[in-house]
Amino acid sequence: MGQICDTLSNDISEIIANYGKGREFLLPILNDVNIKFGHISEHTLIEISRQIDIPIGEIHGVMSFYSYLNHEKQGKYVIRLCKTISCDMANKDLIVKSLERELGIKFGETTLDGMFSLTYTNCIGMCDRGPAMLINDDVYHSLTPEKIYEIVNDIKGGKI
């Protein structure tokens, strides 16, 4: 356990060394940690807080503002459905039901095989073509239940 902690501590030190310890670097540091580990556990947050001397509550505040910073380990494909008003009014709820049905999980969950996570995001700039979502870094818009079926099956079949 001690060795794992030392490794974590060293990994975080290396990332911080790329930026510095100022408050203005908190977001890029969190971003790099998120990329390196795929999520930012509570244990990791405590270590970051200790090393850059910023209160843990402040770091939680930043984490809650940016939906792409993950507390939990995420699936290989992270699906982020836009929950902002234009998409909401363009039948977003229908897409919620389709995604949950196709994947067999609720929003906020990850499939048991570690393939998919479902989560919400704020506006991704596709307001006139909603409902819209991201799968990792790729944008999908003008979504319908049929499109969701196709997209999910293309991923499961290795076509995407």
Binding residues (CB under 6 A) for ligand FES: these are: 82, 84-87, 123-127, 130, 132
Closer residue to ligand FES, CB minimum distance, 82 or 118:
82
In the complex, the smallest distance separating the C-beta of residue 120 from ligand FES, rounded to whole angstroms, is: 10
From the list 105, 107, 94, 109, the residue with the least C-alpha distance to 142 is 94
Q: Are 122 and 84 in contact (CB under 8 A)?
A: yes
Q: Which residues are CB-neighbours of 51 under 8 A, at least 6 positions away?
A: 9, 12, 13, 16, 21
In the complex, the smallest distance separating the C-beta of residue 59 from ligand FES, rounded to whole angstroms, is: 28
Closer residue to ligand FES, CB minimum distance, 37 or 66:
66
In the complex, the smallest distance separating the C-beta of residue 40 from ligand FES, rounded to whole angstroms, is: 25
Would you report the helix, strand and coil content of the chain in percent, each value rounded to 5? Answer: 55, 10, 35
Q: Which residues are CB-neighbours of 112 under 8 A, at least 6 positions away?
A: none
Closer residue to ligand FES, CB minimum distance, 34 or 141:
141
Closer residue to ligand FES, CB minimum distance, 14 or 88:
88
In the complex, the smallest distance separating the C-beta of residue 3 from ligand FES, rounded to whole angstroms, is: 45
